[in-house]
Amino acid sequence: MLQTTERHALFIDNESVAPASGESLPVIDPSDGRVFAQIARGSAADVDRAVRAARRAFDGSGTEPAAGPWGRTDAAQRGRILRRWADLVEAECETLARIESRDTGKPLAQARADAQALARYFEFYAGAADKLHGQTIPYRHGYTVLTLREPHGVTGHIIPWNYPMQIFGRSLGAALAAGNACVVKPAEDACLSLLRVAQLGAQAGLPPGALNLVTGLGGEAGQALAGHPGIDHVSFTGSPDTGRRVAQAAATHHCPVTLELGGKSPQLVFADADIEAALPVLVRAIVQNAGQTCSAGSRVLIEASVYDRVLGLLAERFAALRAGPAHADLDLGPLVSGRQQQRVREFLSEAQVGGLDFAAQGAVVDGAPAEGFYQAPVLLGGVPPAHRVAQEEIFGPVLVASRFEDEAHAVALANGTPYGLVAGLWTRDGARQLRLARRLRAGQVFVNNYGAGGGVELPFGGVGRSGYGREKGFEALYAFTALKTVALHHG
């Protein structure tokens, strides 16, 4: 079992490895602001070592692709390993949840859900590994043409701190199922659960080098990974600015990238909606993980005729919300870091200076350590759509409410930010459901629900500033493969 009071090493070739620099970084418990562990500060030299390990696993010693131990592992066997990994995660669900909860400040129940989702990703991709087919293409007389879906080779994965296990599951599950060897750079604020998950991967049967983890700072280890010429694909989840830097670094060696860059996702509430059903979902969509969710429903757009009623009902619920230490398992825990807390506070003071209506606020419980990174949830009412709090991703428990007059106005507001990740639509009108599902600029639209319970099977990703490429579901397997066309002339 992982001892969280220890110093944690890198994970390369299925072994714990000290970083080249010998340096470490502190791990802070967001619930009380105290340092409780140290992680290795990986650098470009460590990334290079990890990429070489992955290349050996994939290519072997020669120049022929897929001749290494992992490259030669057939699809059914890759599926079996992922299946065993799912079982090991499931068996350690409670331990993983406790590690994650302390490391990120997530309430325990939410951390447990993340560990279960991780197991479910591995299970899903275990089943998909040997079902990724190419095609045959009708062509001219005398030819047979077929397509092969081949792994890229070595893939890089830069993971953020908000849902380490879930994002690892969706990214690594698909990449390994497709046959790639992988190098992961977890976020400096949330590495511990993934170090344990990597050990479980080795136990499940991943050969040395198939999965490697280099912890460290984004500008050092992350930047080195994105720019490493031995990487054949990068998937990144994080902020738009860092996403641009990652894509630029990858472009130096013509490496494809998948970018998931968050959002400012709207939920549209029409007067004909089942408002009682919508209310708890609207609240959960912004309070879950203290609002640090890429797909958080951070804007609620309400039809004018029911605006006052819906805002009043939301305000009642917000006033009852409680934030406190992760282990207390309340509505929300602290934010992940002092930096994140500062970011949210800056948005809120801008709202205050701008005279916005603080329609309701929850509370931080008595006895929560003063050094913890707490933020009470806030409902802002009547927010002008152009205001920065209605345009930018705050990544905290702040819900921004605005009113709309009619359907066209609702769509204009919903589509009126540079982001396009997710949208929620609450209406009983069937024609409107379909019309708006098409008109909303987003990678996912949920009608009379939000998030569909997680949806491991459902392709996910955005447009515009939310990024490009799709993860999750079967679709992700296409992103982690390159298509080869073979044309045979046989007369």
Q: Hey, which residues between 251 and 270 contact ligand TXE (CB under 6 A)?
A: 260-262
Which listed range, 48-56, 157-165, 426-434, 479-487, lies at the site for ligand TXE (CB under 6 A)?
Answer: 157-165
Which listed range, 12-20, 145-153, 221-229, 483-491, lies at the site for ligand TXE (CB under 6 A)?
Answer: 221-229
Stretch (H or E) spanning 282: helix 275-287
Q: How many residues does the chain have?
A: 491
Pick between residue 71 and residue 443 the one whose CB is nearest to ligand TXE: 443
Pick between residue 218 and residue 334 the one whose CB is nearest to ligand TXE: 218
Burial class (CB within 10 angstroms; exposed 0-12, middle 13-18, buried 19+) of 395 = buried
462 binds ligand TXE (CB under 6 A): no
Active-site pick, 100, 123, 220, 260: 260
Backbone angles phi, psi at 24, to 5 degrees: -135, 170
Contact residue for ligand TXE among 40, 82, 158, 311 (CB under 6 A): 158
Q: Is 182 a catalytic residue?
A: no
245 binds ligand TXE (CB under 6 A): yes
C-alpha atoms less than 13 angstroms from C-alpha of 305 in its C-beta half-sphere? 7
Q: Nearest to residue 301, comparing CAs of 397, 378, 416?
A: 416
SS3 label, residue 38: strand
For residue 37, give Cα distances in angstroms to 8, 368, 425, 447. 8, 21, 43, 43
Question: Smallest distance, Å, CB 259 to ligand TXE?
Answer: 9
Q: What is d(CA 360, CA 376) in angstroms, rounded to the nearest whole number?
A: 10
Pick between residue 52 and residue 185 the one whose CB is nearest to ligand TXE: 185
Pick between residue 199 and residue 215 the one whose CB is nearest to ligand TXE: 215
Q: Hey, which residues between 269 and 308 contact ligand TXE (CB under 6 A)?
A: 294
Q: Hey, which residues between 170 and 189 contact ligand TXE (CB under 6 A)?
A: 185, 187-188
Whose structure tokens read 């983890």? 213
195 binds ligand TXE (CB under 6 A): no
Q: Is 260 a catalytic residue?
A: yes
Which listed range, 4-12, 49-57, 68-76, 152-160, lies at the site for ligand TXE (CB under 6 A)?
Answer: 152-160
Question: Smallest distance, Å, CB 374 to ligand TXE?
Answer: 16
Contact residue for ligand TXE among 7, 136, 137, 219 (CB under 6 A): 219
Under 8 Å between Cβ of 90 and 200 = no
Pick between residue 95 and residue 239 the one whose CB is nearest to ligand TXE: 239
239 binds ligand TXE (CB under 6 A): yes
Question: Smallest distance, Å, CB 288 to ligand TXE?
Answer: 12
Stretch (H or E) spanning 411: helix 407-414
Q: Nearest to residue 400, comparing CAs of 360, 456, 452?
A: 360
- Strand-by-strand arrangement of the 7-8 sheet: 7-8, 34-40, 24-29
Q: What is d(CA 188, CA 383) in angstroms, rounded to the nearest whole number?
A: 34
Q: Nearest to residue 411, comparing CAs of 443, 435, 387?
A: 435
Under 8 Å between Cβ of 158 and 185 = yes
Pick between residue 82 and residue 194 the one whose CB is nearest to ligand TXE: 194
Under 8 Å between Cβ of 113 and 121 = no
Question: Smallest distance, Å, CB 159 to ligand TXE?
Answer: 6
For residue 186, give Cα distances in angstroms to 39, 172, 222. 11, 12, 9
The closest residue (CB) to ligand TXE is 218
Which listed range, 44-52, 194-202, 234-242, 450-458, lies at the site for ligand TXE (CB under 6 A)?
Answer: 234-242
Q: What is d(CA 27, CA 34) in angstroms, rounded to the nearest whole number?
A: 8
Which listed range, 107-115, 215-223, 272-280, 307-315, lies at the site for ligand TXE (CB under 6 A)?
Answer: 215-223
Contact residue for ligand TXE among 237, 402, 417, 427 (CB under 6 A): 237
Question: Smallest distance, Å, CB 170 to ligand TXE?
Answer: 12
Q: What is d(CA 18, CA 152) in angstroms, rounded to the nearest whole number?
A: 28
Under 8 Å between Cβ of 337 and 28 = yes
Q: Nearest to residue 293, comparing CAs of 182, 160, 382, 385?
A: 160
160 binds ligand TXE (CB under 6 A): yes
218 binds ligand TXE (CB under 6 A): yes
User: Roughly what angle, to the nearest 10 degrees, separates helices 430-439 and 407-414?
Assistant: 30
Q: Hey, which residues between 380 and 419 contact ligand TXE (CB under 6 A)?
A: 393, 395
Active-site pick, 294, 303, 393, 471: 294
237 Ramachandran zone, left/alpha/beta (phi>0; psi -120 to 50): beta
For the chain, the maximum distance between any two Cα atoms, rounded to a whole number of angstroms, is 82
The alpha carbon of 351 is separated from its chain's Cα centroid by a whole number of angstroms, namely 28
Pick between residue 218 and residue 385 the one whose CB is nearest to ligand TXE: 218
222 binds ligand TXE (CB under 6 A): yes
47 binds ligand TXE (CB under 6 A): no
Pick between residue 269 and residue 378 the one whose CB is nearest to ligand TXE: 378
238 binds ligand TXE (CB under 6 A): yes
Question: Smallest distance, Å, CB 292 to ligand TXE?
Answer: 7
Q: Which residues are catalytic?
A: 260, 294
For ligand TXE, the binding residues (CB under 6 A) are: 158-160, 162, 185, 187-188, 218-219, 222-223, 226, 237-239, 242, 245-246, 260-262, 294, 340, 343, 393, 395
